[in-house]
Amino acid sequence: MTLSTIGSDQRSVLRTLAGRVTGNFIDGRWTPSSSPDTITVLDPSTGREIGTVPASSAADIDAAVAAARTAQPGWAALTPAARSKFLLDIATLTEELLEEISIIEAVDAGKPITAVRDEELPGVIDAMRFFAGAARTLPAPSSGDYLEGVSSIMRREPVGVAAGITPWNYPLLQAVAKVFPALATGNTYVLKPAETTPYSTAWLAEIVARVLPDGVFNVVFGTGAVAGDALARHPKVDVVSFTGSIETGRKVGIAAADGVKKAIMELGGNSPVIVFGDADLESALDAIAIGGLYNTGQECMSASRVIVHASLLDAFVDGLKARCSREKLGDVLDPTTTIGPLNSAQQRDRVLAKIEARTSGARVVAGGENCEGDGFFFPPTIVVGVADDEELVQEEIFGPVFTVQTFETEEQAIALANGTRYGLASSVFTSNVGTATRVQNALNFGTVWVNNHLVFAADLPVSGFGASGIGTENAEAGLLEYTRLKHVMVDNR
Ligand code: NAD
């Protein structure tokens, strides 16, 4: 496969931004890091360098948290309507600069430009507006006279300074899903983006600075082990939100617990997709192909673990192979590209290692090997005959890979679906409403789609059950994570 590199003019938008990133974004300006070390950021489509960002030290984290702390009382004192107006202005600016931010995110994260510009960014802008508005209608128990002689008042307050640690699969979307509910409810923020995808967060910092008071939103770059750890355990941070692997989530949780602070965790998934014999096979295949290949499968809710009724196996695999073969891998700025590269050479190695470690009964019937050429490309891959206890089935793959298992009875399907440590998302395809209802009730997952997969919006909650996380992102529940409930009791005698 020959993969062309196009769009050098468009890529200059990102190079220009990278040139401006001369430090961390603290208190409204680019601020030199106290650390001499840097992280080199690569373009996943080409493997070439985009730029460098600081590998920040704990002292940089101190400076960012101090700025957020100083800004917090003033920000919290604004009315919800005033904060909402600020956040809506950021959404408007983002919409005006849609083309620019789409190129930055597409190149830095390795996502097809059409997917970013036409699907992801409209969702991100909508999320900004959702959180801006929703924070004006926060619920609390009714104030009232619950005991004789006293009146009780309930106040929903911001927690204080929030910290976020984001992954590389949806850098801007994840940043907005963490930062906007926190800001909307009166918190200030320090965010550390992933090492390989810092630039859409850098862009957001500059946009936010055009609208918000200094210090309300701060960005610190760096490694997880140094900057991420220092942020999670910082004594002046009140709440931490993390998205990434279970193993890192555990470390972040321990660091947060050390300071007795709240941690919200979205720790990945390994979504089962149950296809019953009575499903509309063509529409199920369409939804599963999109659900498994979107973002090159680097998606915690990816439709990767298919559990299909034995009667449908051959037709299902043929249909999925046909859909995989229609996909076009290529440079992310080519508008005909449907699948971009994996985000890093390391991620490609991880995906390949899981496939190579398959058991002897498992057969690769499509893809399965690295693409030739520059960039970190990996083709759509289907593995059939997998054993339930092998790594490929039990662990998140985070690549464009489907495993296919079969079942005979509903009980078997549910047992296979619930049989991993993950509990983020799942789907069931059937034309029988009774089957759909029984199965959705039995699935231990925070999201269950019926006859669909990978459809969501900021209004709808994302909760990881089991080892997939703690707490909720998005929806009203996601806003409440950044608030604390105060009870004021007044003696009225
Ligand atoms: P990771 O969990 O190590 O990294 C995610 C974020 O955590 C990054 O910003 C990183 O700098 C930070 N981090 C790392 N160590 C830290 C520490 N000790 N303290 C604080 N922050 C720390 O993920 P990864 O190594 O980039 O990817 C590994 C696997 O994780 C992937 O193959 C995939 O299965 C999974 N993953 C899941 C998601 C998701 O959306 N749930 C996102 C990315 C990766």
Q: Which residue puts its alpha carbon closest to atom 16 of ligand 1?
A: 224
Residue 131 lies in a domain: yes
Indicate the top mutation candidate among 190, 201, 221, 248 to test ligand 1's pocket, ranked by most ligand atoms within 8 A of CB. Answer: 248
Whole-angstrom distance, CA of residue 484 vs CA of residue 488: 13
Which of 332, 298, 266 shows the shortest CA–CA distance to 169? 298
Residues 188, 145 share a domain: yes
Residues 293, 248 share a domain: no
Which pLDDT does position 1 carry in this prediction? 36
Residue 281 lies in a domain: yes
Which pLDDT does position 6 carry in this prediction? 55
- pLDDT tens-place string over residues 229-276: 999 999 999 999 999 999 999 999 999 999 899 999 999 999 999 999
From 300, 396, 473, 481, the catalytic residue: 300
Residues 208, 84 share a domain: yes
Q: How is residue 13 written in tokens?
A: 């938008």
Which pLDDT does position 2 carry in this prediction? 37
Which pLDDT does position 352 carry in this prediction? 97
Residue 22 lies in a domain: yes
Residues 197, 65 share a domain: yes
Catalytic status, residue 95: no
Residue 351 lies in a domain: yes
Which pLDDT does position 373 carry in this prediction? 85
Give the binding-site residues of ligand 1, using a 6 Å CB cut-off.
Answer: 165-167, 169, 192, 194-195, 223-225, 228-229, 232, 243-245, 248, 251-252, 266-268, 300, 347, 350, 396, 398
Residues 316, 177 share a domain: no
Residues 237, 277 share a domain: no
Indicate the top mutation candidate among 165, 251, 295, 343 to test ligand 1's pocket, ranked by most ligand atoms within 8 A of CB. Answer: 165
The CATH number that applies at residue 288 is 3.40.309.10
Confirm if 75 and 216 have CB atoms less than 8 A apart: yes
Residue 5 lies in a domain: no
Residue 356 lies in a domain: yes
Residues 278, 257 share a domain: no
Q: Which residue puts its alpha carbon closest to atom 18 of ligand 1?
A: 225
Residues 104, 40 share a domain: yes
The CATH number that applies at residue 158 is 3.40.605.10
* Span from the CA of 243 to the centroid of ligand 1 (angstroms): 7
Residue 6 lies in a domain: no
Whole-angstrom distance, CA of residue 227 vs CA of residue 230: 5
Catalytic status, residue 324: no
**Domain housing 113:** 11-267+468-487
From 105, 195, 266, 396, the catalytic residue: 266
Number of folded domains that form the chain: 2
Q: Which residue puts its alpha carbon closest to atom 3 of ligand 1?
A: 248
Residues 409, 328 share a domain: yes
Residues 61, 207 share a domain: yes
Residue ranges for the chain with pLDDT beneath 70: 1-8
Q: Which residue puts its alpha carbon closest to atom 7 of ligand 1?
A: 224
- pLDDT tens-place string over residues 120-149: 999 999 999 999 999 999 999 999 999 999
Residues 71, 164 share a domain: yes
Output the CA–CA distances (angstroms, integers) from residue 12 to 15, 16, 30, 172, 341, in the order listed.
Answer: 5, 6, 20, 19, 20
Q: Of all atoms in ligand 1, which is nearest to the CA of residue 344? A: 26
Which pLDDT does position 7 carry in this prediction? 64
Residues 134, 236 share a domain: yes
